[in-house]
């Protein structure tokens, strides 16, 4: 029996279509069909100035707009050799890590909703709301945060904002413990996620996976550690890895990543410079010198890379985005064949894709 | 009263009374269903730190009334390629037995409708008819998701029917009766509710009963995240309401049955007999309903194979053990 899962299905996390052949409940073939949300961001960028491209990046992985913003400005800054003031870098790190937690919270809630548990979804959104409010205060948006600029950030932190972030850290730590109490020890949950969707480190590397999906298979690779950017080399944090690469391992990796993000935020708030510029010296019209650059950063989904080619104009000659969700999704058919229908949302949810990013 | 009417020779007056009483019971059950849905939303709302319905009427009390009205006035959509007759009749087949089983439930010493000698058997037999309604609904819809939901439902309900029936065999052995009123009286006389000597049976009943009700963590036939909505994908308006109603009427019946079998029915604990039996019945009943709500907001859903494995490999052996243990103890010591 041929079954169309999506594009309008509650568990495909966006307009994703999965054509599966099933024999009873067992899956014999799975073909992902993407492109329902394709907007041609890369092509559009060729007609936009560097500053104008930034809002387009918000809409890629719309659950983690801050990291996407950063990926682009990092590429432009590297190409143009722009110095970014320290205070701006700290602000960037704080908002990116907050956004990473918010993104993982959405994953946590929806992945458990995929497994049939309703409460975690609302718990996650309760705590995400606090982060969204804080990011709203600093950026003026609630979803498509458009905060980073080439050479710095758009606005300084409002009065008392840093204090709010400081208070949020212990609160969130408690909540993560609560999540574990509610879900992680639950027998039904464990029966649903252990030994499901397993792949080893070699497969993960061969498929070019990155982020928690890679680390779940016991590969200790995190760009924040392996190739530090911004001011990440000043913070102490661990890179959590899983053991055998099943859905449970990816779950635990993300849960631990939230704790590590809190550690980074805590240190960043401590080291935060009292005063200073938030915007570096940048020419009025950005003209990148002729050349090309590939920069990478660790978004909440994995390695987000920007390949930028400039011919010396105020617009890029070519922009290529390496979107982690798109790359991670490739493994899906391999994981699904031989499993049952009930495993589809569990496995797909654990990859944590955002269709805005898959389609770009 | 109903018992008197049933024992009298047939007359038109008696028939009128029967119909009136049946309508009254239906009214009570429907009010329960309405407020069960309201309380489910409220209780789960509190557990999930949100408010639940609070706009329609005082404290949102008329929310379900509004929902029902909305469902009733909706267009009755019957998709083009369905098996029309079966599609239309499936909700009725699912609902009718749900309402019929209420006849044998005793609520207090005086408040019951039919004093049937094989009450338990009647319950078990009738409740399995609903499966056909669900399967027909799933099949007639001509939708791949709904047929999967229907098939899952059949597999699940047949599997869990076995441990469910076996779980109260211990009580049947202890009391020597299938009559629900006799079972409560036996508990009253011995002064011990069957939850204590039949604890294993109670746990099995609790789990299997939950599975029979198709509620979380056993809500596979309607698993929204896998099957969109399962067997009722194509149903809308009041036909959809019928399926919902079936589910909640079964909840009413299952919680009542559990109260009668294991919690002493209307029997008052600690000699608090000045409080009427019906109050005790309602309290125990609500406790069990609350458990069902609680479970729904806490657990993820199991998978089909795990569900089957659990019924056949865990619950049925345990239920057998319970029956054998009860038989051995009874023959040796009583």
The β-bridge relationship of strands A291-298 and A152-153 is unpaired
Chain A partners of B221 at a C-beta cutoff of 8 Å?
none
pLDDT at A306: 92
At residue A345's C-alpha, the angle toward residues A3 and A248, to 5°, is 145
Quote the tokens at residue A138: 């600093």
pLDDT at B108 over 80: no
The ipTM assigned to this model is 0.78
- Mean pLDDT, residues A155-176 taken together: 90
Cα within 13 Å of Cα(B151), Cβ side: 10
Cβ-nearest to B300 among A9, A117, A122: A117
Chain segment B280-332, per-residue pLDDT in tens? 888 888 888 888 888 888 888 888 888 888 888 998 999 999 989 888 988 88
Chain B partners of A114 at a C-beta cutoff of 8 Å?
225
CA dist., res. A41 & res. A68, Å (int):
13
Integer angstrom CA distances of residue B130 from B140, B157, B217, B244? 15, 9, 20, 13
**Bridge partners, residue A217, by sequence:** none
Chain B, 226-285: which have a CB under 8 Å from a chain A CB? 226-228
* CB pair distance less than 8 Å for B301 and A115: yes
- Cβ contact B288:B258 at 8 Å: yes
| Contact partners, residue B307, CB within 8 Å, separation at least 6 | B156, B159, B211, B218, B220
Quote the tokens at residue A355: 């269709």
Closest C-alpha to A29, from A333, A329, A332: A333
CA dist., res. B209 & res. B160, Å (int):
8
What are the backbone angles phi and psi of residue A306, rounded to the nearest 5°? -125, 120
pLDDT at B99 over 70: yes
Taking residue A272's Cβ as centre, other Cβ atoms within 10 Å add up to 18
Taking residue B155's Cβ as centre, other Cβ atoms within 10 Å add up to 18
Residue with tokens 């279509």: A17
- Mean pLDDT, residues A85-95 taken together: 90
Chain B partners of A118 at a C-beta cutoff of 8 Å?
44, 48, 216, 296-297
CA dist., res. A262 & res. B304, Å (int):
38
* CB pair distance less than 8 Å for B48 and A9: no
What phi-psi label fits residue A292: left (phi over 0), alpha (psi between -120 and 50 degrees) or beta?
Answer: beta
- Cβ contact A89:A149 at 8 Å: no
Chain segment B37-54, per-residue pLDDT in tens? 888 888 888 888 888 888
Determine the residue among B228, B300, B306, B313 to mutate to test chain A binding: the one whose Cβ has the most chain A Cβ atoms within 10 Å.
B300
Say which residue, B302 or B108, is predicted with more confidence: B302
Of the candidate ranges A8-22, A38-52, A120-134, the one whose mean pLDDT is the lowest: A8-22
**Bridge partners, residue A306, by sequence:** A295, A321
- Cβ contact B287:B193 at 8 Å: no
pLDDT at B1: 59
Chain B partners of A119 at a C-beta cutoff of 8 Å?
44, 47-48, 297-298
Taking residue A24's Cβ as centre, other Cβ atoms within 10 Å add up to 12
CA dist., res. A75 & res. A307, Å (int):
7
| Contact partners, residue A56, CB within 8 Å, separation at least 6 | A41, A44, A45, A48
Closest C-alpha to A302, from A61, A72, A126: A61
To which H or E segment does residue B75 belong?
none
Chain A partners of B49 at a C-beta cutoff of 8 Å?
122-123, 126
- Cβ contact A119:A310 at 8 Å: no
pLDDT at A307 over 90: yes
Closest C-alpha to A106, from A61, A164, A54: A61
* CB pair distance less than 8 Å for B304 and A25: yes
Cβ-nearest to B303 among A112, A186, A192: A192
Quote the tokens at residue A244: 């055998």
* CB pair distance less than 8 Å for B303 and A116: no
**Banded model confidence at residue B2, pLDDT cuts 50, 70, 90:** low
Of the candidate ranges A94-108, A225-239, B117-131, the one whose mean pLDDT is the lowest: B117-131
pLDDT at A132: 93
pLDDT at A176: 92
């Amino acid at each position: 029996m041929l079954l169309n899962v999506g594009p309008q299905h509650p568990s495909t996390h966006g307009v994703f279509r999965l054509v599966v052949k099933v024999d009873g409940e067992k899956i014999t073939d799975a073909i992902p069909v993407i492109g329902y949300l394709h907007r041609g961001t890369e092509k559009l960028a060729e007609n936009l100035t560097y500053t104008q491209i930034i809002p387009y990046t918000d809409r890629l992985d719309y659950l983690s707009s801050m990291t996407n913003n950063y990926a682009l400005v990092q590429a432009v800054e590297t190409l143009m050799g722009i110095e970014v003031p320290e205070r701006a870098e700290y602000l960037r790190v704080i908002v990116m890590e907050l956004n990473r937690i918010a993104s993982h919270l959405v994953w946590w809630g929806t992945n458990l909703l995929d497994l049939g548990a309703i409460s975690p979804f609302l718990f996650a959104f309760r705590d995400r709301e606090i982060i969204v409010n804080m990011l709203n205060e600093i950026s003026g948006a609630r979803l498509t945060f458009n905060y980073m600029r080439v050479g710095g950030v758009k606005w300084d932190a409002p009065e008392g904002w840093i204090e709010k972030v400081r208070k949020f850290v212990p609160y969130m730590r408690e909540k993560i413990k609560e999540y574990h109490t509610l879900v992680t020890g639950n027998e039904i949950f464990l029966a649903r996620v252990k030994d499901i969707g397993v792949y080893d480190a070699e497969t993960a590397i061969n498929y070019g996976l990155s982020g928690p999906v890679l680390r779940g298979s016991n590969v200790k690779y995190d760009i924040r550690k392996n190739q530090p950017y911004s001011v990440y080399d000043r913070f102490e944090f661990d890179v959590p890895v899983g053991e055998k690469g099943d859905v449970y391992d990816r779950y635990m990796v993300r849960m631990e990543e939230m704790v590590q993000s809190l550690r980074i935020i805590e240190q960043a708030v401590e080291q935060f410079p009292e005063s200073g510029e938030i915007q570096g010296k940048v020419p009025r019209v950005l003209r990148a010198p002729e050349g090309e650059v590939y920069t990478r950063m660790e978004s909440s989904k994995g390695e987000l890379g920007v390949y930028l080619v400039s011919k010396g104009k105020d617009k890029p000659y070519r922009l290529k985005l390496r979107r982690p969700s798109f790359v991670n999704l490739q493994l899906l058919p391999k994981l699904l064949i031989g499993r049952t229908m009930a495993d589809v949302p569990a496995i797909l949810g654990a990859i944590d894709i955002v269709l805005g990013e898959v389609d770009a | 009263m109903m018992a008197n009417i049933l024992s009298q020779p047939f007359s038109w007056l008696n028939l009128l009374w029967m119909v009136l009483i049946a309508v009254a019971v239906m009214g009570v059950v429907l009010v329960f269903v309405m407020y069960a849905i309201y309380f489910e939303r409220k209780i789960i709302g509190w557990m999930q730190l949100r408010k639940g319905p609070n706009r329609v009427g005082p404290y949102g009390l008329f929310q379900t009334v509004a929902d029902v009205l909305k469902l009733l006035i909706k267009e009755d959509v019957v998709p083009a390629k369905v098996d029309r007759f079966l599609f239309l009749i499936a909700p009725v087949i699912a609902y009718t037995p749900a309402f019929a089983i209420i006849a044998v439930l005793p609520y207090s010493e005086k408040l019951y409708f039919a004093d049937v000698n094989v009450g338990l058997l009647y319950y078990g037999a009738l409740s399995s008819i609903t499966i056909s309604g669900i399967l027909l609904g799933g099949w007639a819809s001509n939708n791949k998701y709904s047929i999967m939901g229907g098939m899952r439902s059949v597999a699940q309900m047949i599997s869990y029917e076995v441990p469910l029936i076996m779980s109260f065999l211990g009580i049947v052995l202890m009391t020597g009766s299938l009559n629900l009123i006799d079972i409560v009286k036996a508990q009253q006389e011995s002064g011990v509710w069957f939850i204590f000597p039949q604890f294993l049976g109670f746990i099995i009943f609790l789990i299997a009963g939950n599975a029979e009700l198709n509620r979380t963590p056993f809500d596979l036939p309607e698993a929204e995240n896998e099957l969109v909505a399962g067997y009722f994908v194509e149903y809308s308006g009041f036909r959809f309401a019928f399926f919902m109603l079936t589910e909640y009427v079964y909840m009413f019946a299952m919680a009542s049955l559990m109260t009668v079998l294991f919690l002493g029915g209307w029997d008052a604990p600690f000699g608090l007999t000045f409080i009427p039996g019906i109050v005790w019945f309602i309290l125990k009943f609500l406790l069990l309903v609350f458990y069902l709500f609680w479970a729904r907001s806490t657990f993820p859903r199991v998978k089909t194979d795990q569900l089957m494995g659990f019924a056949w490999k865990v619950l049925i052996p345990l239920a057998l053990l319970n029956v054998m243990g009860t038989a051995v103890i009874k023959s040796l010591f009583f």
